[in-house]
Structures are given as C-alpha cells and as structure tokens.
C-alpha cells in the first residue's frame, strides 16, 4: 500500500482515503468504472453528478455499505489509515464501526429513545458505560448542535423531532462511533432550506476533527461546504479539483456542461 501512496507523490499522512482502480457492480450492471482518488484528512470532499452517475455508490464503497445490496460487488482498493478495507481478511462489520455514515432520509431508530440513538454508536464499539456514556452522548449531541434542543427529552422518541433535528441526531449517532471519517449521502435532500443551512454549518465545524465525504445533487451546496469537488458521470470520475477551481475553471467539457446547467 505504501508503494501506491508513494506513486501518487504524496506521503501517507497527507491522505485519509486512497482509492485505487475502484469498480463496483449491482449484479451484472457496472456502476463505477476505474475510480482513482485521494482524499485529504480534515477536509470536506463533495461528490456531484446527475442521478445514476454513481456518486452514491462511490461513497457507499468507502465503508463497504455497497455490499449490503443483494448481488453487489466491488473490486479495487480503498486504503484508509494504511489498511486496504477490501483486503480479504477484513470484516466489513468492523470497517463500518470506524466510519460514520449519514443517509439521505433521516433514519433514527424509532423504537429507541433519543439518548439510545446516540448511545448505540458508542455501545457497538464498547467505548463507554454509565456516567462516561452519558457524557459521551452529551458531547456528541453538542457537537451535532442538537443538545440544547433535546436535553430535556432525551428519553423521548426521535420521531417527535423535526426532519432537520432527526438528521442532526443521525449525525450525532455517527459521531458516537468516534470515527475519523464521516460519509454523508445527500444529507440535506430531505430537509428544508433552514435545516439545510444548519447542517452545512455543522459540516464546516466538523471538518476540524473529521474527514468528510458528502454526496450532493445541489451544486451550490458543494460550492458552499466542500474543499474539493469530484464530478461523476455514468460511473466515471470525470474531474476532481479544489472547489473554487472546479467551479470557475472546469477542465473537462462534461463538467462545464453540468455546472452551467446544460444537462443533469
């Protein structure tokens, strides 16, 4: 793995996620074609592209959630902290325990309390018990900018919360795993503009401690939150650039067509 990193001309410490020759299939149909990308630590990377471009598949490959779909498979390598998560000895369950994920629809577990929804992340990794767990839950809820809104109803059902609150609860749950990387699959697409701005503020704050990969169909959102932006089209990674450069001087014709609204 060291060789692969070195061949990119960057030292390992500068790369949080190193993706090499990544192909992904759903049964017989290929969803990703030879994706190569290095993601820097403590940065926000956005994946954009039209529907069916493979951007969600891409992010789901980074914590091996892609394989949850029946018949799905992946080839290539994704190296995180020096370990190829697609090595045959790696159990995907353990990969997922160290990478936070936030989904398109807020998906708190409805049969559990608000407190339990956050605590479940810490419990799965055996991080804390009793008093320490209470503190961890509070810390993560504060980090997700939700503590003040739920501190008086921690034992209440998460379904009482608004969509934006539920999504921040899901972010708190992902953070409770104490991951270094947080993946977000269109986290704002089910939220109203105010809740979207709150989540975007949150993403900017979380960047200080986490490496974030976000899928979005909203170009403005990518421009607002991302340090680097990657454009996917028909399963191919067309272009990846620093966000300002990406939107002002796209190198590929397809990228320019997409960001100027000529298709997609």
| Least distance in angstroms from the C-beta of 49 to other proteins | 21
Does the protein bind other proteins through residue 144 (CB under 8 A)? no
Q: Which is nearer to other proteins, 99 or 259 (CB)?
A: 99
Count Cβ atoms below 10 Å from residue 76 Cβ, excluding itself.
17
> Which residues lie below 8 Å from residue 247, measured CB to CB, with a gap of 6+?
219, 223, 229, 259
In this structure, are residues 184 and 107 in contact, taking their beta carbons and an 8 Å threshold?
no
59-98 residues near other proteins, rule: CB under 8 A: 63, 65, 68, 93-98
d(CA 51, CA 109): 27
What is the helix (H) or strand (E) element at residue 142, kind and residue range? helix 130-143
Q: Which is nearer to other proteins, 11 or 159 (CB)?
A: 159
Q: What Cα–Cα distance (Å) separates residue 160 from each residue in 111, 119, 150, 170?
A: 12, 18, 10, 14
d(CA 53, CA 264): 10
Helices (H) and strands (E) in the chain, counts: 11, 10
Does the protein bind other proteins through residue 188 (CB under 8 A)? no
Only one of the segments 21-29, 107-115, 128-136, 139-147 lies at the binding site for other proteins (rule: CB under 8 A); that segment is 107-115
d(CA 220, CA 62): 24
Quickly tell me which residue has 């779909």 as its tokens: 69
Does the protein bind other proteins through residue 177 (CB under 8 A)? yes
Total residues at the site for other proteins (CB under 8 A)? Answer: 27
Q: Which is nearer to other proteins, 96 or 217 (CB)?
A: 96
Q: Which of 2, 10, 159, 205 binds other proteins (CB under 8 A)?
A: 159
Only one of the segments 10-18, 128-136, 172-180, 239-247 lies at the binding site for other proteins (rule: CB under 8 A); that segment is 172-180
**Contact letters (x/-) for other proteins, 17-46, by CB under 8 A?**
------------------------------
Binding site for other proteins (CB under 8 A): 63, 65, 68, 93-98, 101, 103, 105, 107-111, 120-121, 124-125, 157, 159, 170, 173-174, 177
């Amino acid at each position: 793995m060291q060789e692969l990193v070195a061949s990119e001309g960057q030292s390992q410490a500068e790369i949080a996620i190193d993706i090499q020759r990544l192909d992904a299939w759903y049964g017989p149909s290929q969803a990703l074609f030879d994706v190569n990308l290095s993601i820097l630590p403590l940065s926000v990377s956005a994946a954009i592209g039209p529907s069916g471009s493979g951007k969600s598949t891409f992010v789901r490959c980074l914590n091996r959630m892609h394989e949850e779909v029946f018949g799905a498979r992946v080839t290539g390598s994704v190296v995180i902290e020096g370990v190829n998560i697609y090595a045959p000895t790696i159990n995907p369950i353990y990969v997922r325990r160290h990478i936070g994920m936030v989904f398109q629809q807020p998906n708190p577990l409805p049969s559990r309390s608000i407190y339990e929804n956050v605590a479940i992340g810490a419990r799965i990794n055996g991080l804390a018990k009793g008093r320490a767990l209470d503190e961890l839950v509070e810390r993560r809820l504060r980090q997700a900018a939700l503590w003040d809104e739920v501190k008086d109803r921690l034992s209440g059902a998460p379904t009482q919360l608004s969509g934006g609150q539920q999504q921040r609860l899901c972010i708190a749950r992902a953070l409770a795993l104490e991951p270094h990387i947080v993946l977000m699959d269109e986290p704002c697409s089910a939220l109203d503009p105010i809740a979207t701005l709150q989540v975007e503020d949150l993403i900017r704050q979380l960047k200080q401690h986490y490496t974030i990969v976000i899928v979005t169909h909203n170009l403005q959102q990518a421009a607002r939150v991302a340090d680097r932006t990657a454009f996917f089209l028909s399963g191919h990674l067309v272009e990846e650039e620093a966000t300002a450069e990406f939107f002002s001087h796209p190198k590929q014709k397809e990228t320019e067509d997409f960001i100027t609204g000529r298709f997609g």
